[in-house]
Amino acid sequence: MSGGYHDAAAALVVDGVLVGALQEERISRIKHDPGLPIGAALALLAQEGLSPQDVASVFFHEDPYAHLERVLLWSLRSFPKGLKAFPQAMRKQLGSDLWVLDSIAEGLGIPRGRIHKGEHHRSHAASAFLCSPFEQAAILTVDGVGEHHSTGLWQGQGAQISCLGQLELPHSLGLLWAGVTGWMGLAVNRGEHEVMGLAAHGQPRFSDVFERWLTQSEDGSFEVDPAPLAWLSDPERGFGPAMEAALGPARAFNARWSLQDPDFQLRADVAASLQQRTNEVLLGLATALHERTASPNLCVAGGVALNCRAIAHIQAHGPFEQVFVQPAAGDAGGALGAVLSGLGIRAPMHHAAWGVCCDAGRAQDLATELGMKVERVEDPVQRAAAHLAQGQALAWVKGRCEWGPRGLGNRAILASAADEALGVRLSTQVKPRAPFRPFAPIVSNTSFSEHFEGRPDLCTPFMTTLRQSRNDLSPATTHVDGSARVQSVGPKDALHEVLAAFEKESGQSVLLNTSLNGPGDPAVARETDALAWLMAHPGTPMLIDDLWIQT
């Protein structure tokens, strides 16, 4: 299990085999739910016909006692700067956080002796390496902070992971991103991916500022100037007066975005500057790690690993032959790493469908009770392809929900990537979002190189890297700088047949694929979530297995 900060999750191993992994938000329906993942754990157990009493061991992703030590230590070091936030931090640490292992035992109704603490960055490292196809690899973990550390250099061999070095607070790339995210008026620890999308609209004219704030040594280690940040005194904002003095006034929290805003270009240029410096520093870390390990393989985890622009930069300019980032590289992935590390087993990940199923029979009954139109179709793939070829969007629900924050073909909104106007309608009406955020394309392995630079790799099935578009045939999914967070699919993937049928119908081989959720909501998991989404979006039909459902 992982939890307590954001993106709580559970992963289940039965008799040495990974059988499920699920974020708590998919069950609780609270976006980025930070609470203990008791609901996710129970859902995974029930799916396997098990009860909590069948659980031999639970591995938590970090050490709550070391976490408390860090909060106390930094509160003392920063006195009186952190005095305002200290009482709230202590209530949380001495309340729910310190007793998290006991709470897990109580929540599952099992003995406390079965619950084991882990180490935050080791759990990240395990989630990166033990899910990879590599027998040996260099491992890089980068996030906000674990117990004391923000960054880790590791080496994996077989099922063993050894630490080569770690960086401690205040030197945190994740916390620097959190501060800039807050300055942008976005939610800290939630809106960093929006800053990444915004970067494509800007020029790095603030590069000198970020070079001062984020310096790097020849050995790859870096230092972060804490002056512009406020992760101790004001963690919800994350930034202080020094950031505003250098970059300009902060944007109002959750203010509406417009490409015509007078200061839009300022924000975009700041994002581009931060992204450029991040690319440089991560490449420096990766290069130093390669020199120490001489491995041709790199695995990356931690929240910063979900920055697909930086991962693409390492792939393009780094010394490694292969790079792997699993789909839930952030804190959710710590649950998976904790159990794999705790048991000392490998679980190479070839797909992301590790969550709960959608019950088509129950969906039919509920939809009928709600007065929806339900039709059973003989060939759902052909029906989907024909509908998409007519320039219409489709909600697609198949199998188990995805592991990680991105829709990867099991809970998706699909549309033609060639129809730019349809993409605009999706981003303004069906799935409202900031106008600078791109949608992602999905393409078969066989058509990949026709549309995007390079070939499919270990990251492209999970949308954890970027590629440049080769043509202008998919404008609805091509970002302003020509990049795309492309997903590649093979014959065993859920949407492979749909892509093939869509190409026969339309002559196009790329679809727009975005996660099936509304603004501020987690992605759909079960049939109740799917039908709730459909009721809120009456103009878009939904295909659940072979059921065509419309309001």
Q: What percent of the chain has pLDDT over 90?
A: 88
- In 10 A of CB 45, how many CB atoms? 21
Q: Which of 310, 343, 376 is the last residue of a domain?
A: 343
Residue type, 188: V
Whether 360 has a pLDDT exceeding 60, the answer reads yes
Task: Say if 535 falls within a structural domain.
Answer: yes
Q: Are 217 and 308 contained in the same domain?
A: yes
User: Mean pLDDT, to the nearest integer, of 413-441?
Assistant: 94
Q: Are 196 and 117 contained in the same domain?
A: no
Looking at residue 83, its pLDDT comes to: 57
Residue type, 501: A
Structure tokens at 435: 């106008």
Looking at residue 101, its pLDDT comes to: 94
Q: Are 299 and 338 contained in the same domain?
A: no
Domain count, the chain: 3
The residues that bridge with 216 in the sheet, in sequence order, are 222
Residue type, 71: V
Tell me 539's DSSP state: T
Looking at residue 86, its pLDDT comes to: 60
Task: Say if 160 falls within a structural domain.
Answer: no
Are 534 and 372 spatial neighbours (Cβ–Cβ below 8 Å)?
A: yes
Whether 228 has a pLDDT exceeding 60, the answer reads yes
Are 285 and 302 spatial neighbours (Cβ–Cβ below 8 Å)?
A: no
User: Mean pLDDT, to the nearest integer, of 530-550?
Assistant: 96
Task: Say if 159 falls within a structural domain.
Answer: no
Which CATH number do you get for residue 122? 3.30.420
Q: What percent of the chain has pLDDT over 70?
A: 95
Q: Are 377 and 514 contained in the same domain?
A: yes
Tell me how far apart the alpha carbons of residues 160 and 154 are, in angstroms, rounded to a whole number: 10
Are 240 and 229 spatial neighbours (Cβ–Cβ below 8 Å)?
A: yes
Which CATH number do you get for residue 228? 3.30.420.40
Tell me 52's DSSP state: G
User: Mean pLDDT, to the nearest integer, of 464-487?
Assistant: 97
Longest dimension (CA), the chain: 69
Which structural domain range is residue 318 located in?
168-324
Question: Tens of pLDDT along 368-392?
Answer: 999 999 999 999 999 999 999 999 9
Between 83-87, 152-156, 275-279, 512-516, the lowest mean confidence (pLDDT) is in: 83-87
User: Mean pLDDT, to the nearest integer, of 16-38?
Assistant: 97
Question: Tens of pLDDT along 494-505?
Answer: 799 999 999 999
Task: Say if 26 falls within a structural domain.
Answer: yes
Q: Are 80 and 220 contained in the same domain?
A: no
Instruction: Tell me the average pLDDT of the chain.
Output: 94
Give the model's confidence band at 437: pLDDT under 50 very low, under 70 low, under 90 confident, else very high.
very high
Question: Tens of pLDDT along 281-313?
Answer: 999 999 999 999 999 999 999 999 999 999 999
Structure tokens at 511: 């679809």
Give the model's confidence band at 473: pLDDT under 50 very low, under 70 low, under 90 confident, else very high.
very high
Looking at residue 319, its pLDDT comes to: 98
Q: Are 338 and 318 contained in the same domain?
A: no
Cis before 262 (ω within 30): no
Which CATH number do you get for residue 519? 3.90.870.20
- In 10 A of CB 486, how many CB atoms? 29
